[in-house]
Structure 1
Amino acid sequence: MAKLIPILLDELQQEFAITEKFLKLIPDDQYDWKPHAKSMSLKQLSVHIAEIAGWPAMGIQSSEWDFAKSPYTPTPIENNHDLIQLLKKGLNDTIKALNQTKEEDLDHQWQLKYGDKILLSLSKYGFIRHAISQNIHHRAQLGVFLRLLNIPIPGTYGPSADDTNGF
């Protein structure tokens, strides 16, 4: 059986390279824009996406996150440069953490909690996969935001409708 850590490293680097293409397109002057009153703002969504790059490192280096003890506070950013730096720092932290862990450590449990209430309970491997899924999910959401702002969408796993070179 193939080793999981090299597979995860490859997938994380590929997915966050695609994510970086999307984040670079966000206009600094549109950070407060929302497509709907119930939606996150473009800034809230983009910061959330950039922060996800560091989730696997946090999952590897801890056994839980308890919102009752450590409430979530979004990382403050002012512009796209800050946003891309946040993404790159998170990915670098994740790569370093994965390179310093052992395969068997991925079997250990990780929990997201609010006090006594368990919101999510997965193996550390499962949590890393969850982070990758969250990145893909929110990146697609960002693609809709960008489309509504009439910003051409980059290809992800092939060309987009905005790519002129096609296959």
Structure 2
Amino acid sequence: MQTMKMLLGTAALSLILAAPALAASSDSDIAAFRQAKVSLTQAIAQAEQQGKGKAVDVDFDTKNSVGLYQIDIVSGETVTRWDVDASNGKIASADKQTLATWAQQLGAGVEPRELTAASTSLAQAIGIAENKGGGKAIEAEVDHDNNRLTYEVEVLNGNGTRTIRVDGATGQVMADKS
């Protein structure tokens, strides 16, 4: 447990600070996303229910011409990536790994207790960002900003995207970049 705290407290935090921001979505992903019948927040609710935990990262991708939300759910010491079909909301697949492995691979610096203590959930942050950005969220992730839990949400509006950062404690928009 001490190793886990050290990993998440120092090494992972330095990794997250060096990690790039949300990647821009490809044209094929955007086209598939526009056809989705299931919203990002609906997909998160499905994955959180299945995984009995909190969402910390969500991406939209296409596999074999099927639009999928890839949602990472933290539950205890496990992170499960749930692929949720964007056309019907059904779970397409799940892949589990330890929280330590996930943190090392993705550079996450978030401890599970931070997620349960946050006043604003990832799904709520997405709603705030969609309202501010005037569109639909296509990707979102939990992050740290000045030792605070934050959410970074990519919102697709019209032909472009906006990246909106939401404070996990207050739900306030901290940054809005076109």
Q: TM-score range by the shorter chain?
A: under 0.3
- Computing the radius of gyration over CA atoms, which structure comes out larger, 1 or 2? 1
Give the number of the structure whose residues are more often strand, by fraction.
2
TM-score normalised to structure 2 length? 0.26
Between 1 and 2, higher relative CO (CA 8 Å, sep ≥ 6) is seen in 1
